[in-house]
Structure 1
Amino acid sequence: MHYIRNRQVKISGIRGCCFGIANMILVKRMRERLYSTLLLQDISFFDYETVGDLTSRLGSDCQQVSRVIGNDLNLISRNLLQGTGALIYLVILSWPLGLCTFAICAMLSTIMLLYGQYQKKAAKLIQDYGASANEVAQETLSLMRTVRVYGTEQQELGRYNNWLEKLADISLRQSAAYGLWNFSFNTLYHSTQVIAVLIGGMFILTGRITAEQLTKFILYSEWLIYSTWSVGDSLSSLMQSIGASEKVFQLMDLPPSNQFISTAGSKLQRLVGHIEFLSVTFSYPSRASVPVLQHVNFQVHPNEVVAIVGLSGSGKSTLVNLLLRLYEPTGGQIMIDGHPIKDLNTKWLRERIGYVGQEPRLLRTDISSNIRYGCPRVVNQKDVERAAKQAYAHEFISSLPNGYQTLVDDELLSGGQKQRIAIARAILRDPDILILDEATSALDAESEHNIKGVLRAVRSDLKTKRTVIVIAHRLSTIQAADKIVVMEGGKIVQVGSHSELLLKDGLYSRLTRRQADAVVPS
């Protein structure tokens, strides 16, 4: 007996170890698959989904699935095998009593399945509410300075508590359902014992079974009922895991963006930088009924510096998004060097474009790695420093505690310093097309003057000749541009040089006068 028990313990330990390894592999692959799927989605996907929700799916939801193999399937397989063996032995001992016990187990299984379905729905709601609570917390903590300045701590706490109350309500219902499940089990369990004693006693009196057989029957029926209960308990946990993972599997089944599926597309021998917008119309997928661009037509000639200006919401940054193929036009087309942009290889095109956004985000790594980030060619430290000098960032980087090896921190760098590092990153790519989307918005007057130097170098230095598109609110930054495109309400209302547009009584001259009035002391 002692030998058998030891063998059972060893087998159980080996089985548990195997399930644990399988569980680890499953969760790792799930997270890899989900993360890779998210990375390959269209930008419009992230207009609908929030970062907090997606990180919750990657974290807690995938971990919840680990219970399936690591615990639930392990226990279910073991108890199903034990219960099946016990039922076969009960039928052999006495088939009438065995059928009675089987009927009770069938009732228990029906209740178990209903309970499991409820647990699946409840688990899905818990994961959704948990993801929403996580989203609120992430948003609040990332904007803590704004919260503190406006004194909205109680308001944010209320938002968070709202989701916690919904979580508590679902958890309370889960506890009530679990109590009902346990009550049903105990009732049927004791019913089995009563039926076994009553009917078994009658069978003993009639000589159909012996007292020894009845004792064995009662012991094995308890084993069967316990196995059924254990399967039900594990199955309800399994259904929770399935409910929690439902959104994960939906996300994993999303097809990647067409830009990643198709490896086709032309690769030009040389990108000259002649850009044409031909009657381009666009609406964001999340606001399909609101046109952002309406029949936009203009050209950017090779090695030309073109500035795009206008009021906020006029569609300036949207033009850049379309040029980068983050979105596709809903009407018209964009041509580069005479080729439709949709026919060009997207990866090849982006490697030849340097882009600096309105609010450049830097990685939490050293400054040198941030400047090298995404560079399609092999570069050394001298190349990094040369790009930083062209972006007028070398001086302040050298003054930092560890120079180019300084770890980037939000508290360490100002907005203007981050933008200059982002400009250095774009210059390091040696792009044929350079896009500065409000890249001077966080710069002080001296830094803005330096960026003008970068634009002047683009115009005069043959080695750095490239097509440049500048989007700026500060009109002083783009006065030397070859061409200025003025936008309003998603349309182009004026095109010309700085001096030409000042002579016209249009939007550009009004914007220029307003900015001039703003800097004159009253």
Structure 2
Amino acid sequence: MRQLVAGDQWIIYGGFASLLLASFSDLCIPHFLTASIFSAQSGEAMLFYRNTKILLLLCLSSGIFSGLRGCFFSIGNMILVKRMREMVYSTLILQDISFFDKKTVGNLTSRLGADCQQVSQVIGNDLNLISRNILQGAGTMGYLFVLSWQLALTTLGICFILATVMTFHGRYQKKAAKSIQDITANANDVAQDVFTLIRTVRVFGTEKQEYERYLKCLKKLADIGLRQSIVYGLWNSSFSIFIILPRFVSMTKAIAVLVGGASIMAGHFSAEQLTKFILYSEWSIFATWRMADNWSSLMQSVGASQEVFKLMDLRPAKEFLKGGEKLQNLTGCVEFANVSFHYPSRKTIPVLENINLAIRPNEVVAIVGLSGSGKSTIVNLLLNLYEPTSGQILIDGFPMNDLDKKWLRERIGYVGQMFTRNISYGCTRKITHEDVELAAKQAFAHGFISSLPNGYETLVGDGLLSGGQKQRIAIARAILRDPDILILDEATSALDAESEHYVKELLHEFRISSKKKRTVIVIAHRLSTIQSADRIVVMDAGEIVEVGNHRQLLSINGRYAQLTKRQSDTID
């Protein structure tokens, strides 16, 4: 936390300077208050007026510097939370894709939101008040020892007991807060899943089941909250024993009056000194209790932020830590050399086994197979979202791991998941609005874009466009990048028959353009879209089982012929 606010230390220094001045003023107030009363009783007018003026100045100083203290620490706390969220978000966005396979979106957003917000009181409230109470408690205790070390020992003993209880209470609150934040993150997961898939929930009528899932998380939170309340009650009782007794008689005051009264009668103590001692002893005990309360709050913040600190300590993915080679000319030759792979989250389940595949420049290669056969995994490896478990991928004869990943991705056009962003999203080359319109026209998206409320300036949400429209925007986005390698992952799955026909023609022209040669890799379930491919690779259970063009694969009457027949039978 100190490192996060290191760039604005003057705010923290200003807060602590105001804290010192405010605490000093507060510590002096009981002394001059008592002195004013007893000087008035003794008839010393000049001394009374002097003490009264000092008392008024101290009250004014305490109010001013207390306000400044709160202002400085609140600003410091705002900076802390802002930079914590910045650091957590910047760390998360640079993690390996496998990290997001293990962590749910709801969990991460909960850490970024609720957990970081839990720290919002650390500087502005907890450390601020703890520091103030430590200063005031130490100051009052020193003053008590000056007045009477015998009486001061009784007050010190009470403060020690309270501090001991405070330590154990703080440890429990720290553990409880961590559990609360973990359960809250799980509850957010449940809610986010339901709200994201609310149409599915409604269709299947599982509202009650989803409600019960969320209710389980709430019950766990309630149980922890109940235990926290019981522990807090026990802690509060320990304070009440020493502060509030029947008939509102303070034990500390009673001891002070008994011992101090005997000292007065023996001539060793004055009534003014005893009054000051009673005021300061009560102040020291209240300072200890307030510090304990703030310590408990601080421990809750620390416990809640433990997972946040773990996320902040994560190192970025390897691709962001090292550069790589940039080829002067990328021809688009892709080769999978004995590649095997399993997802890090499912190490016992092989996804690809000994894949050997060479794709030549300016070649259209289609990859087909049943769901789960490994088609999309090949794309994920080619995009370097994951690294092969064994074997390697070569780009123009160079191992992919030796190339600059960002540079390589800039030369790959990808049409896959329907991602609602503008057409120029991620395009690094210099473009104009005319370039964007041309790409949209080629993807048959210009017509419906022009009909939107603000045309190309429309802010598009997920519910405004249909699936086919989103995919045409994705195709336009790939066209605009002018890539050397074009990957189409189910690019026509959401298009109607007419749009699919035009897009297939477009892809053919896009590939054979005289301006630039491109390698095209198509992942498809609808086999009608890939019949004109140069080669068709058929996959089954993570292995390549057939390779050839459409006619060749039909002639051997193998796996591809079976898939084609099934789709034809479905259509009939």
TM range (shorter): over 0.9
- Partner of residue 331 from structure 1, selected from 374, 390, 410: 390
Mapped contact 2:116–2:305 kept (Cα < 8 A): yes
What 5-or-longer segments of structure 2 have no aligned partner? 1-54, 244-249
Equivalent position of 1:255 in the other structure: 315
- 3-state SS of 2:521 partner: strand
Deviations 1:77-102 (A, max 9, x none): 11111111100011111111111211
Matched, 1:450 2:510: no
**Aligned with 1:360: secondary structure?**
coil
Matches within 5 A, 1:378-457: 378-457=430-509
CA deviation map 1:456-505 (0-9, x unaligned): 21343222531000000000000000000000000000000000000012
The offset of 1:205, in angstroms, is 4.1
1:69 alignment counterpart:
123
Equivalent-residue separation in structure 2 for 1:238 and 1:486 (angstroms): 60
C-alpha distance in structure 1 between counterparts of 2:448 and 2:484, whole Å? 27
Residue in structure 1 matched with residue 88 of structure 2 by the alignment = 34
Residue 59 to residue 459, structure 1, CA distance change in 2 (3 Å):
closer
- Preserved CA contact (<8 Å) 1:136 1:160: yes
SS in structure 2 at match of 1:307? strand
Letter in 2 for 1:105: C
How far apart are residue 313 of structure 1 and its match?
A: 0.4
The whole-number CA distance in structure 2 between the counterparts of 1:286 and 1:275 is 27
Once the 2 structures are TM-superposed, how far is the Cα of residue 214 of structure 1 from its aligned partner?
Answer: 2.2
2:514 maps to 462
Alignment correspondent of 1:21: 75
> How many Å apart are 1:209 and its aligned residue?
2.5
> Judging changes above 3 Å, is the alpha-carbon distance between structure 1 residues 68 and 459 closer, same or farther for their aligned structure 2 residues?
closer
Alignment partner of 2:540 out of 488, 496, 501 = 488
Q: Determine the C-alpha separation between the residues in 2 that align with 1:104 and 1:460.
A: 88
1:59 to 78, 103, 113: 113
Among 339, 357, 373, the alignment partner of 1:280 is: 339
After the TM superposition, list the runs of 4 or more consecutive aligned residues in structure 1 that deviate by more than 4 angstroms.
none
Q: Distance in 2 between matches of 1:418 and 1:501?
A: 33
Residue in structure 2 matched with residue 10 of structure 1 by the alignment = 64
Q: Which moved more, 1:400-409 or 1:100-109?
A: 400-409
Pair 1:318-2:368 in alignment: no
Q: Distance in 2 between matches of 1:32 and 1:460?
A: 45
**In the alignment, which of 325, 328, 339 is matched to residue 269 of structure 1?**
328
- What is the percent sequence identity of the aligned residues? 65
Q: What pairs up with 1:339-354 in 2 under 5 angstroms?
A: 339-354=398-413
Structure 1 distance, partners of 2:511, 2:164, is 79
Q: Counterparts of 1:405 and 1:135 in 2: how far apart (Å)?
A: 34
Question: Given residue 291 of structure 1, which amino acid in structure 2 is its aligned partner?
Answer: P
Equivalent residue for 1:217?
277
Return closer, same or farther for 1:425/1:274 CA change in 2, 3 Å cut-off. Answer: same
SS at match of 2:305: helix
**Cα distance in 1, alignment partners of residues 364 and 506 from structure 2:** 11
Cα drift, residue 206 of structure 1: 3.9
Q: Tell me the matched-pair count.
A: 512
Residue 356 of structure 2, aligned match among 297, 304, 312: 297
Partner letter of residue 248 of structure 1?
Answer: V
The question of whether the paired residues in 2 share the 8 Å contact of 1:457 and 1:464 is answered with no
**Per-residue deviation, residues 326-346 of structure 1 (Å, max 9, x unmatched):** 100010000010100111011
1: CA distance between counterparts of 2:432 and 2:497? 31
1:181 aligns with 2:241: no
The amino acid across from 1:109 in the alignment is: A
Q: Which residue of 2 aligns with 1:200?
A: 260
Partners of 1:167 and 1:450 lie apart in 2 by 56
Could you tell me the TM-score, scaled by structure 2's length? 0.88
Structure ID, larger Rg: 2
1:26 partner letter: L
Letter in 1 for 2:239: F
- Contact 2:511/2:520, CA 8 A, preserved across alignment: no
- Inter-partner Cα distance in structure 2 for 1:310 and 1:511: 8
Q: Given the alignment of the two structures, is residue 362 of structure 1 paired with residue 414 of structure 2, yes or no?
A: no
Work out the CA distance in 1 between the residues paired with 2:399 and 2:95: 23
- Measured against aligned partners, the alpha-carbon deviations of 1:6-25 in whole angstroms (never above 9, x if no partner) come to 11100111111111111111
Structure-2 separation of matches of 1:188 and 1:232 = 15
- The counterpart of 2:176, out of the listed 117, 122, 127, is 122
- 2:33 equivalent in structure 1: none
Alpha-carbon offset, residue 307 of structure 1: 0.2
TM-score (norm 1): 0.96
Instruction: Please state whether the residue corresponding to 1:286 is helix, strand or coil.
Output: coil
Query: Alpha-carbon deviations, 1:432-476, whole Å to 9, x = none?
Result: 000011111211211211221122213432225310000000000
CA contact (8 A) 2:155 2:252 kept: yes
SS class of match (2:87): helix
Distance in 1 (alpha carbons) for counterparts of 2:91 and 2:548: 45
The answer to whether the 8 Å contact 1:76/1:235 transfers is yes
- Contact persistence 1:75–1:231 (CA under 8 A): yes
Asked whether the 8 Å contact 1:275–1:301 carries over to 2, the reply is yes
Cα distance in structure 1, aligned partners of 2:464 and 2:148: 80
C-alpha deviation, 1:203, in angstroms? 3.3
Structure-2 separation of matches of 1:157 and 1:298: 49
- AA aligned to 1:336 is I
Q: RMSD between aligned alpha carbons?
A: 1.2
Q: Which residue of 2 aligns with 1:367?
A: none
- Structure 1 unaligned residues grouped into runs of 5+: 364-369
Q: Output the CA distance in 1 between the equivalents of 2:337 and 2:382.
A: 12
